Amino acid sequence: MKGRCLEFRIIMPRIRRELYTKDICACSIFGAMNRDGERFNGAGVMKAIANMHVRGNGLGGGFAAYGIYPEYEDYYAIHLMFTGKSLQDKLSAKKELDAFLCQRFDVVYDEEIPHGDESTVSDPPLVWRYFALPNKKGDDALLTDEDYVVSIVMWVNTRIENAYIFSSGKNMGCFKGVGYPEEIGEYFMLDRLYRAYTWTVHGRFPTNTQAWWGGAHPFSLLDTTIVHNGEISSYGTNRWYLEMYGYACTLQTDTEVIAYAADLLMRKQMLPIEIVAKILAPPIWNAIDRMNEAEKKLLTTLRMVYGPLLMNGPFAIIIGQTGKMIGLTDRIRLRPLTAATRGEMFYLSSEEASIRLISPQLDRVWTPNGGEPVVSELNSMRKVLQ
């Protein structure tokens, strides 16, 4: 991986002066999970996010859904978008990508992601999905499947022009684009074609008028997806640290660093979410100094070692993973997040009203403290029943 890290450095012209344009966005987020693993369609969450319509400005929306490809559950479902001014650009990008991908993966099935009328959205790219297994050759055989897929994603996103992998997990997928989230949901027919046990949604209000389809949330890597409300003022520092570990921050949005930090800490370093939350949103030193010896030592060590991954600035995020949904806000709770439960359903939302819209009765409603994660897991972690 380290070797690849250096290669990226040469290719990306912006790196010479480390120039990047950071999109800032204010938004709405929503998540719904059925802890029994029962799958439901996207209609409810589309309605919920539409209720928070005013928090967005129509320049981005997206969904992550878990458990949607049970027939292909052992294959990586790679979602690609091919951008470019003309259809020709998109097709030539696809051609290049196809050639590249087929050498490195065994693709069992691929197709255009079904969608509605293109005139309902602005300038849509060509969106395709591939169900594939890694075909590791040479030195790559030493990598785990997951590291291999990550390296392919980084490669494609930095080297193949007009091609972006925006979803790369198993039995899950992201759907996103430029438009209000409910419009994107309609476009990809999420209420009709898919049933998932976890949905997370995002509606965007970017302050950069040049919105592009890849810039919408969720951001994902393998099966980790992030939807994010807020702005990360420590983006430069977080990015600087993650690039050393081989993550190329190409998608021009600060949310990317959260996705990569989650991948690094949770998947590669296998740290539990309680610890990861304390890295991303640690308590204040005054509070740490007053804790008992063991806690103080742990938190001091975490802040000392992982200081560059502290996410500063206001944020509320929902992290989706296979079998889990996690909500987290920044350490002084500058962004809202409401959590609620009703039977086996678990909800997270920027505003309570959206939850009430789809579930008028709730067992418990609360706003978690800043820096404290709210974790919802499948009751078993068994395979989802069809």
Partner 1 sequence: MCKTVPLDPEPDTSSAGDRADVAEIDATDLQTKELNDRLREMMLSGIKKVNIRNVCGQRYIGTRLYTPQHLIMDIEIFGTPGNDLAAFLFGHKITVHGNAQDGVGNTMDAGEVVVFGRAGDILGFSMRGGEIYVRDNCGYRTALHMKEYNEKRPVLVIGGRAQDFLGEYMAGGIVIVLDLQGLTHQSNFIGTGMHGGVIYLRGSVESTQVGNQVAVSPLDESDRAVLDHYVSRFLERFPEVGTKKDEILNHSFVRLTPKSKRPYNKLYTY
Partner 2 sequence: MKSFVFPEFQIIRDEEKCGQCRGCERQCAFGTHTYDPVADRLISDEYKCVGCQRCVVFCPKDAIVVRPSPSYYRPNASWSREKLEDLKKQAETGGVILTGSGNDKPFCIYWDHIVLNASQVTNPSIDPLREPMELRTFLGAKPDQMDISLKDGEVKINTKLSPNIMVETPILFSAMSYGAISYNAFRSLAMAARKSGTFFNTGEGGLPKEMRNEFGKYAIAQVASGRYGIDAEYLNCAAAIEIKVGQGAKPGIGGHLPGEKVSAIVAQTRMIPQGTDAISPAPHHDIYSIEDLSMLITALKEATNYEKPISVKIAAVHNFAAIASGIVRAGADIIAIDGLRGGTGAAPKVIRDNVGIPIELAISSLDRRLRGEGIRNRCSIIAAGGVRCSSDVIKAIALGADAVYIGSAALIAMGCTLCQKCYTDKCNWGICTQDPRLSGRLNVDIASQRLSNLIAAWSHEIAEMLGGMGINALESLRGNRDHLRGVGLHEWELDVLGIKGAGE
**Residue 237 interacts with which of partner 1, partner 2, none, CB < 5 to 8 Å by class:** partner 2
Strands (E), the chain: 25-34, 40-41, 61-66, 76-82, 105-112, 126-134, 163-170, 172-177, 195-196, 198-206, 219-221, 224-230, 315-321, 324-329, 338-342, 345-349, 364-366, 374-377
Instruction: Give the residue, chosen from 141, 332, 381, 385, that forms a contact with partner 2 under the rule CB under 8 A.
Output: 332
Q: Does 86 bind partner 1 (CB under 8 A)?
A: no
Range in contact with partner 1 (rule: CB under 8 A) among 9-17, 51-59, 109-117, 219-227: 51-59
Among 221, 354, 373, 384, binds partner 1 (CB under 8 A): 354
- C-beta closer to partner 2: residue 298 or 357: 298
243 binds partner 2 (CB under 8 A): yes
The residue assigned the tokens 């981005």 is 60
**Dihedral sign of CA atoms 329, 333, 337, 340 in order:** positive
Q: Which residues of 44-73 are buried (b: 16+ CB within 10 A; e: fewer)?
A: bbbbbbbbbeebbbbbbbbbbbbbbbeebb
Residues 6+ apart with CB under 8 A from 3: none
Nearer to partner 2, 296 or 342 (CB): 296
**Helix, strand or coil, per DSSP, at residue 79:** strand
Nearer to partner 2, 44 or 308 (CB): 308
Instruction: Mark whether 249 is an active-site residue.
Output: no
What is the nearest approach in angstroms of partner 2 to the Cβ of residue 360? 34
According to the binding rule CB under 8 A, does residue 298 interact with partner 2? yes
Phi-psi domain of 245 (left: phi exceeds 0; alpha: psi -120 through 50; beta: other) = alpha
List the one residue from 60, 351, 373, 378 that touches partner 1 (CB under 8 A).
351
Least Å distance, CB 324 to partner 2, is 15
Q: How many CB atoms lie within 10 A of CB 277?
A: 22
Please identify every residue annotated as catalytic. Answer: 27
Q: Which chain residues interact with partner 2 by CB under 8 A?
A: 2, 5-6, 9, 16-20, 22, 24-26, 207, 230-231, 233-237, 240-241, 243-245, 268-269, 271-272, 274-275, 284-286, 294, 297-298, 301-308, 310-314, 331-332, 334
Q: Which chain residues interact with partner 1 by CB under 8 A?
A: 51-52, 54, 286-287, 290, 332-333, 336, 338, 351-354, 356-357, 360-361, 365-367, 369-370
